Amino acid sequence: MRAIWKGAITFGLITIPVRLFSAVSEKSIKFNMLHGEDGGRIQYKRVCAKCGKEVTWDEIVKGYEFSKDQYVQFTDEEMEALEIDSIHAIDVVSFVPLEQIDPIYFNKTYYVAPDPSGLKAYKLLAEALEAEGQVGIAKVALREKEHLATVRLKDSVFVLETMHWPDEIRAPEFEEMEKRVEVRDAEVKMARQLVQQLSADFDPEAFTDNYREALERLVEKKVEGQEITVAAAPEEEPTKVVDLMEALKASVAQAKKNRDTKSSTAKKASRKAASS
């Protein structure tokens, strides 16, 4: 993996030289935009709105619009001159229990690896965090933006999770939620039974991206020159009024049936493995 940032974890008077790596590699099929008439790729050019000329990257500077069509320009050197500790450091300011942080704050995930010179201090902080059951709350500047972040331990490696700032989280204001509806005790009881039937330990390996797999199969057919059969779009039916209680009962029964089937299949597989 290629490091996207170099700096240090700082807490108290301790400095740990580290490098940052993207922890996630998104696997989605990418499409190019083509001209339907001749199949040529659509290109995007960087064109100056004032003179109409195409410009190269080294001719581009950052500009802030302080009023309509009025800008001030900044060079990379001026941006680097900002006197902010988080530009070159993951500045840990406190430690908190992870369960106190609402997941809505989390944004992107990075691995934090130590430089050889900082390995001892890295492992020291790792053992301290694991013993205390805490995560670090830090500030770090990445891609021209300062982020709130957590520093936590996963499989003996630090993970940095950038977070949204509190004023970036929208308030959930929905008029529908102000309406009063009656929820009966029997409906709550049945809903709880459904939750219980569907409860299980989280196993990420049990989930697959069905849409991506179907799209990959579609791409393969196209590459092989196969004809794609396009089904007619179903006519929209009027929304049916559903009896909530009956729907819950049917859902609980279906969930129980699925669980019994999985249990039976697992037992058969276990017996087969034991006999072999």
Domains held by the chain: number? 1
Q: pLDDT tens digit string along 10-27?
A: 988 889 999 999 998 888
Residue 105 in domain? yes
pLDDT higher for 1 or 9? Answer: 9
* The predicted structure's pLDDT at residue 86: 56
Q: What span, in angstroms and rounded, lies between the C-alpha atoms of 183 and 251?
A: 18
* The predicted structure's pLDDT at residue 147: 93
Q: Is the pLDDT of residue 131 over 90?
A: yes
Q: pLDDT tens digit string along 220-229?
A: 988 898 888 8
Residue 181 in domain? no
Residue 187 in domain? no
Q: What span, in angstroms and rounded, lies between the C-alpha atoms of 18 and 90?
A: 9
Residue 215 in domain? no
C-alpha radius of gyration, the chain, whole number: 27
> 158 CB contacts (<8 Å, ≥6 apart)?
9, 18, 111, 112, 122, 125, 126, 151, 152
Residue 65 in domain? no
CATH number for 113 = 2.40.290.10
Domain that holds residue 153: 5-25+84-168
Q: What span, in angstroms and rounded, lies between the C-alpha atoms of 26 and 108?
A: 12
Residue 248 in domain? no
* Amino acid letter for position 165: W
Of 33, 24, 25, 8, whose CA–CA distance to 86 is shortest? 8
